[in-house]
Amino acid sequence: MKRPFRSSRAILFAAGLSILLAGCAWMDRGDDDGPASDPTAAAPSSEPTGSSDRTGTATRSPQARPGSATMGDAEVLGVLASINRAEVEAGRLAADRATSPRIQQFARQMVDAHSTANERIEAAPTAPQPSDLSRRLEQQSRQAVDRLRQQQGDAFDRAYVENQTRMHRQALDTIERDLMPAARDPQVKQMLQSMRSDVASHLDEAQRLQNEIARGGMGDRPMPTPGSGT
């Protein structure tokens, strides 16, 4: 009568052993598939190379505009010359018509800086050539100066400073996104780097003047000298 009990116990033992062996085989297959994914591992970054880091350090290069690569060094210099001529024309008008001594001073500095920049362009081995971009900028600057001529007194001061903020912001964008990607000659590239720095300095000063006007007055204290060279 004890034989059935032993038989049942043998069956249960065999079944347990089968389950244990199946579990070991499943674990072996899992190891062969490679290491399990670490849920804490950082996902691959989708940011393009050269983007700014999370600390705010600016390392991203401005994206080149479509068509910038079709320009050569001569066309790049032609665009720079157009920017400078526009600044000289507007500056001469403001130096004569502005009512604020500080705005007059800023206007004279723009005339001197951009005239000097064009002298460097004329001395470059590559002669500047016109392009669709330079012609478009010249047309825009003529329209802007025509609008300035219609203003008088304080209204002219405000309009000129707004114009300078807009023009220098546009110039900076053009240098970064159109001209720098197109330049090939090392001397032209160096000229662009220098002019970019000076345009940024001019933009900062124009924005300071604009903020002072918005607060209700300019005052007669001397104005810091912005960067020269554009």
Range 51-55, long-range pairs (CB < 8 A, 24+ positions): none
CB 108 within 8 A of CB 91: yes
Dihedral sign, CA of 138, 62, 110, 220? positive
| Degrees to nearest 5, angle at CA 81 with 80 and 83 | 65
Query: In one letter, which amino acid is 177?
Result: R
Which CATH number describes the domain made up of 76-214? 1.20.1260.10
> CA–CA separation, 196 vs 180, rounded Å?
10
pLDDT in tens for each of the 230 residues of the chain? 444 445 555 554 555 545 544 454 444 544 444 444 443 344 433 333 333 333 333 434 567 666 566 899 999 999 999 999 999 999 999 999 999 999 999 999 999 999 999 999 999 999 999 999 999 999 999 999 999 999 999 999 999 999 999 999 999 999 999 999 999 999 999 999 999 999 999 999 999 999 999 998 765 555 555 554 44
Domain boundaries, the chain: 76-214
Give the span between the Cα atoms of 142 and 144, in whole angstroms.
Answer: 5
pTM of the model: 0.68
